[in-house]
Amino acid sequence: MTAWTKRRKAAKTLPFIEGVPANPLYHLVRVKVFDQHTGRGVNPLTMLYFLRRAAKLAERFSGDSLTTSHPEAHLGERLDTEISQVRGKASKRRFRFMLRTIIDLTAAKESELLDPNGLALNLEGVEVVTNKGSQRGSHVIVTVPLGVLKAGVISFRPKLPPRKIQAINNIGVGVVEKVILSFDDPFWRLSKTQPRRVFYISDAQGEFPAFIDASDSAGRPVLVAFLTGEHVHLLETDAEAMVDRASQILKSIFGDKYRAQTSVHVTNWGTDPFSLGSYSTPTVGVTAEHYEQLAQPVGKRVLFAGEATYREHAGFVERAMGSGIREARRLLGREVDLQLNPS
């Protein structure tokens, strides 16, 4: 056999690593792997194969929906099912070592104590599951109104910590509704170009206390009438009657100048399932700590934003916008100059 033939056969059996030392395989093969069961070392490239296989399995499991059902009682049983498909006792042992080490270190718990969908929670960030599909990401920023959180229509898994739940329960939610009236002519104005607000002192507190002239921003003659207190609930049960009452009030104020509205829009912040309230309010028993807790992330991956997450000036639009910037900075992990586009 010639020397060239010997070198050629050797090349088929010995691994060849290019680009050392930049190639990470170069550093891996320099690792010592010792198997207590056999009392011998294990080829690091063999362990690299099982590492890659374990990583692919973890990636596949992490793609599960949090609501997927499994016959196994815990994640350990799911892993054992996969390990059983590996041929050979030694290979099973090495694959089990690599797979379980990855999972146990990541979750900080034995797989027997983890939910069968545990990898969907621990390895690949977060998942938002809706009736129209699911979305995955490294983080999630919860920006739903406080009323929605209080209603419990969103399930968190794992459950939110007690202090977060306490904050959600203790911070109040107020409701202010609007009846938006459009007209052909701004009869309430002193002149065609001079806006004018109308305030109504009623014997019933909260019964259309203010009519705001929004004509300039609306592009046509518009009055926005506000309702608070028990009158909000009257609007929810009989909107037509409340619109008629707004018309009666304007007619009583302006007499012959009054002209009937041409169209009406009524808000429903209190009953809209995507709001369940207008904005947060400091009801009896609330503390500054509650606002602070509402703003705190959960598990460094579930972040919270919205007007109610600001202790000072909660309930204002600028605080809602500011909270988004705050959480963007938190997500990026550094202070950056984030500004809103003036347009």
In this structure, what are the phi and psi dihedrals at residue 224, rounded to the nearest 5 degrees?
-110, 115
Residue extent(s) of CATH 3.50.50.60 domains in the chain = 139-172+275-332
Cis upstream peptide for 158 (omega within 30°): yes
Instruction: Report the range of poorest mean pLDDT among 36-45, 289-298, 307-316.
Output: 36-45
Fold classification of 176-266 (topology level): Polyamine Oxidase; Chain A, domain 2 (3.90.660)
- What's 139-172+275-332's CATH class? alpha beta
Which of these, 120, 162, 147, 103, lies nearest to 278 by C-alpha position?
147
**pLDDT tens-digit map of 270-308:** 999 999 999 898 888 889 999 999 999 998 889 999 999
Please provide the average confidence, as pLDDT, over all residues in the chain: 83
Residue extent(s) of CATH 3.90.660.10 domains in the chain = 176-266
CA 15 to chain centre: 47
pTM of the model as a whole: 0.62
Q: What average pLDDT does range 13-25 have in this prediction? A: 45
**pLDDT tens-digit map of 114-127:** 777 777 655 577 88
